[in-house]
Each structure stands twice: as structure tokens, then as C-alpha cells.
Amino acid sequence: MCVSHGKTTHEAESGWRNGIPTGRVRAGNECSSCHTRAVRVFGPHRIAKWKRLAGAVGISTSKGTFLQVRDQDRTPSPFSTGKGITTAGLATAIILSGVSLGTVAGVPAGTLVSMMLGWRLAFVASAIVALSVLLAVMILVPSLVPTSTRGIKDVTDLLNNRKVRFGLLGTVLSFIGQFAGYTYITPFMLQVMHFDSVVLSAVLFGFGAAGVAGNLFGGWAVGKNVRVALAGTLLLLGTSILILTVVGAHLVVAVPLILIWGFGFGMQPIATQSWMFSAAPDQLESVQAIFVSAAQLSIGSGALIGGLMFDHFGIYSTLWIAASTAFVTAALFSLRSK
């Protein structure tokens, strides 16, 4: 969280007043004073919005490429039999728990570097870390041979698979709902729970840590039963968020509910991805491409829908969307036959 003239990042934004959001929360953690200094150095034209948008697109593209992860050490696919899915699910969980750990540790680390050395060096440090990881991957990670070389034809063929289409529907619904709510969890804690910056940071850290635990538990759960794990995850999310809308002002109850939300939030990508893998076990590369694309589009759509609801109906409406979509998606997966 960047600090500018005694204000937090959110307070430095023009859409915040007295710690409470008065309009849509802008994406990212850009500090207004940092932006002002950058304009002074480079000139307004070189800090144009389209360049920042291009940077965001580049980051999102790299994230999407990174998320094309799968276990290719088995033939046939571990998802083609009852055996092996536990190992594959845990492998995916371990990888995604690393993503969660990086998110939990990276935000405060970046904030610390930015506060001590400036925002430019924070970006330079991020680039150095990214290049170091790239070098390590090139040296340490073995090459994986794709199971299919038909390219986009594989992706289009998958849409004829009813289970894949059903999984895509569940992915879109659940991710839109969760990110409509999660994007505005900080405003909720500031406006309804009246947290100061220290408590807010601690609870958000707890949310992330619970997400790591959810990653690992989700990997174990999908090894038992993918459909039950997915429906259970969505029920956990919906219940915790719904209760939070009722008791949000009571901190003794609300804080554990936020941690439970974080736990389910960590399970969600494991469970949905495992469903997609089990739907087409012989086309995992194409399944992963479809899943990541749908998830990324749903994340952006959820944040947009949440912002519109926030502006017109208030902070609680974002959580209502998150809870209702979770319940609807859970019902869909619970009622669907194997």
C-alpha cells in the first residue's frame, strides 16, 4: 500500500474521502503523488493512459501464459482414471499455492521498496526478479512435448464437449461473482468494519494465508471427488459471504468469516480447473487454454460489474452478487449427474 503525504493508496485516489470510497475503485495500486512525479520527469505525453493500459495488457498476457500449467509426466493422463488424479490435483495445488504465497508476500515487499527507494526502483526490482525466474525456468524446468499439434482446432473441438461447456459456465458464473465481491473487500472492511490501516493489512494477509491453505486442501479434495469438492467450495464461499453481509459490523464474527472466504477463494481455482481437466483428459493443453481465458475474462467482468453495483446500490450489493452466484453455481454442479 503506497503512502502519499500521510494518506494510503486508496485515500490518495480521487474517488476516496475519509477512508471511504465515493466511486468506482480504480484497478491497481497507483499512488497519485508517484504519478505526479513521473509526469514531471517524463512529460504528460509519455505517461499517457494508453501506455499504462499497454503495460497492464502485457502483465495480463504474461500471467495467462504462466497459468498454462499442467502435469505431463504421465501417460495416459492422470485425469483419465480414478488413480493419479490426487497427485495431479496436489501438483496443481502446490503450483497455485506458490502464486498465492507470492501475492501475499509480494504486495508488502513491493510497498516497502516503493516507500524506501521509490516507485521506479520497485518496478526495476520486479523486472530483475522476473528475469531471474525466467533464467531459472530455462535452466531447471524440462521441456514438455505437447500431446496435440492441431492448435486452435483442438480448442474449437472442445466446445462440442457438453461437460466442458458446463464447466465453462460454472467457471464464468463463479469467477464473475467472486471478483465482483473480492475486488471491493477492502472498501467493505473500511466502510462497514471500520478497520484502520494496520488491522486492514493484517486481515488481508490472513485472507491470503487462508487462500494458500485452501489451495492445498483443494488439491486433496479434488482427489476424492471433483464434483463434491467443487460444489462444496462454492457452498462454503456463498455461505461465508452471505453471513458476512448480515454480521459484518460484529468483528468477532466477521473476521473469521473473511478468513473462511479466503480459504474457499483458494480452493475455487483448483476445483474448477480440475473439473475442466476431468472433462477432457486427453486434451489438457486446450482445456487449460479455454479455462484460463474464461477465468481472466470473468475476473475483469466481475470487477466491472461489482463497480457498477457499488456505484448504484452500495457496498453490500457486491457481496450479494458474490454469494448468489456461488449458490447458483453450487446448485448446478450438485444437480448435474456425473
Give every CB contact of residue 301 below 8 A, 6+ residues apart in sequence. 176, 179
Report the amino acid identity of residue 205: F
**Exposure letters 250-289 (e unless 16+ CB within 10 A, then b):** ebeebbebbbbbbbbbbbbbbbbbbbbbbbbbebbbbbbb
Grid cell 475519509 — which residue? 18
Looking at residues 241-246, what average pLDDT do you find? 94
Span 178-218, pLDDT tens digits? 999 998 988 899 889 888 877 888 888 888 889 888 888 98
**Maximum mean pLDDT: which of 57-61, 89-93, 110-114, 266-270:** 266-270
**Maximum mean pLDDT: which of 6-10, 12-16, 84-88, 114-118:** 114-118
Cβ atoms of 171 and 276 within 8 Å: the answer is yes
Span 52-79, pLDDT tens digits? 667 666 666 666 556 555 444 333 444 4
How far apart are the C-alpha atoms of 181 and 320, rounded to whole Å? 8
The candidate with the shortest Cα–Cα distance to 165, out of 276, 299, 289, is: 276
Ranges of each domain in the chain: 78-335
- Rounded to the nearest 10 degrees, the angle between the axes of helix 284-313 and helix 162-182 is 40
Largest CA distance in the chain: 61
Instruction: Determine the pLDDT at residue 146.
Output: 61
How far apart are the C-alpha atoms of 324 and 321, rounded to whole Å? 5
* Residue with more model confidence, 85 or 52: 52
The CATH number of the structural domain formed by 78-335 is: 1.20.1250.20
Cβ atoms of 288 and 299 within 8 Å: the answer is no
How far apart are the C-alpha atoms of 101 and 113, rounded to whole Å? 18
